[in-house]
Structure 1
Amino acid sequence: MARRAIGANRLPMSEKRRISFLGLGVMGGPIARHLARAGHELTIYNRTPERRERWQARNPELSVRVASSPADAAEGAEVVITCVGNDDDLSDVVLGPNGVFRSLKRGGLFIDHTTASARIARQIAVEARDLQVHCVDAPMTGSQIGAEEGRLTLMCGGRPDAIAAAMPVFEAYTRRVVHIGRAGAGQTAKMANQICIAGIVAGLSEAMRFAQASHLDTDKVYEAISGGAAQSWQMDNRWKTMAADEFDFGFAVDWMRKDLGLAMDEGRGLGVSLPITALVNQFYAEVQAIGGGRLDTSALVRRLPLPGKRK
């Protein structure tokens, strides 16, 4: 199992590549920017032109080629990277009649950063093998802040030679890359990641309301408990904003529900019971029902009534 933490053992910067990046969303947009700033010859594509235009307006100093379709983006590229919404989006831009695999050359490298099912990752890997294309499923963790700062962690599935080919590309925007196993393993590891986060946020939400009902200073509570066993990334980055009822940022509830659905589907196929995951998924459905689908996942606390107020 290959594992690399970028830092003291950082590899020297690789030679510049012809890279095409598809999907300029909250996570994909910053990654594309890091690749262009690293000196790679970048082509971009987004299914909604408005988002691509916003990306260009925010990065006017970057010279990029704009592709008219996924197939056009892959034409002449050495590396194609996707970061889209879900399985259907991914299937369309990669396997569709005008998809990436229509024109990505033999010996090329395909990397997917979408959080998707292990099933679609394995399907794409089979198609890539038949086309003699290297293929890596590489979902990420590290939040929007990590993407902006180039400090993402990737959990990768694929053949060792494909991972080795991708490593120099990853340098531009990651701090850690872990090769989990064969095709689809990266996606399955990401499901485990989301299961952990969901349970932590649920506990954090209850702790917040408990502290507020007890009329405690939530800043003091954080100071007291964040240095011990209760500490987590979610606590360090979301406790204060939860106390302030601020959620207009970060990873959306809608996307968390999609991810938890993937985990539960995979769990059913494995014969694994995920009762806490299923429960928190329903809690998030309540947040969606009150209009919080686009809020950060820490908005889970909103399903619990404030002390002294009805829900």
Structure 2
Amino acid sequence: MRVLKTLCLGAAALALGMGSALAADKPTLKIGYVNGWDDSVAATHVAGEILHSKLGYPVQLQPVEPAIMWQGVARGDLDATLSAWLPATHGEYFAKLKDKVVVLGANYEGAKIGLIVPDYVEAKTIADLEKYAKDFDGKITGIDAGAGVMRRTEDAIEKYQLSSIRLMASSGPAMATALTRAEKEQKPIVVTGWIPHWMFAKWKLRFLEDPQKVYGDDEHVDTVVNPGLQSKAADATAFLKNFSWNGEEVGAVMLAIREGAKPEQAAKDWVANNPERVAGWLQ
């Protein structure tokens, strides 16, 4: 992570409905999300759309790196984030800042990182990769070097003694492109990945079993806010505490964005098509 610098909520921020008369007397809510994380983009835009269109708040959505996101909420530069992976992935940030933030609860249960394969692949466990190494060209297609799932995969290669397998760093989009190509040709592939992710809405995929729990137990994606949000926007805080959805719901928004919709439009469409779900969060 780069050294934390002053968080600037300016040109990079996405402003929603700043000219709304309804929102004229309400404070602008600033929400941070992890740039490049599809689930983070989807959840944040849907929540932002509801905060604006249903509760009348001007909203700024700010893409940042995880460390800056956590520091921003703690400092009050950001009011909230819906992208806190706990207890493991963002556990280090939480441990340092837990006295300066408020965890409202999980907005997605069953979050998980690990090694993912198409359902047609014969390998069932991580240890099986050694047996089927030739099918995978002896490689695991990874994402950005240094990412948490990449560090865990290096550990997995050692602990499961995968001497015929090497981890190839790339990027999230490059990994998705490789998976798309493999699915089209029905060829074996193993990738580093996580759920929620749009690829689970598009293909039949599964995690390789990890009996040694190198990748840890399932996590949850939490909504974390600055302590001052309750007094600043009580109804917004109540909504954010209630907001929680499942893999099919977040997957639909992620896939719409993946297939070309702008995040703000995908969010508007989902909110418009799910009025009862939205009403339940606003009770």
Common fold: TM-score over 0.5: no
By percentage of residues, which structure has more helix?
1
TM norm structure 1: 0.27
After TM superposition, the score normalised by the length of structure 2 is: 0.29
Greater RCO (Cα-Cα under 8 Å, separation 6 or more): 2
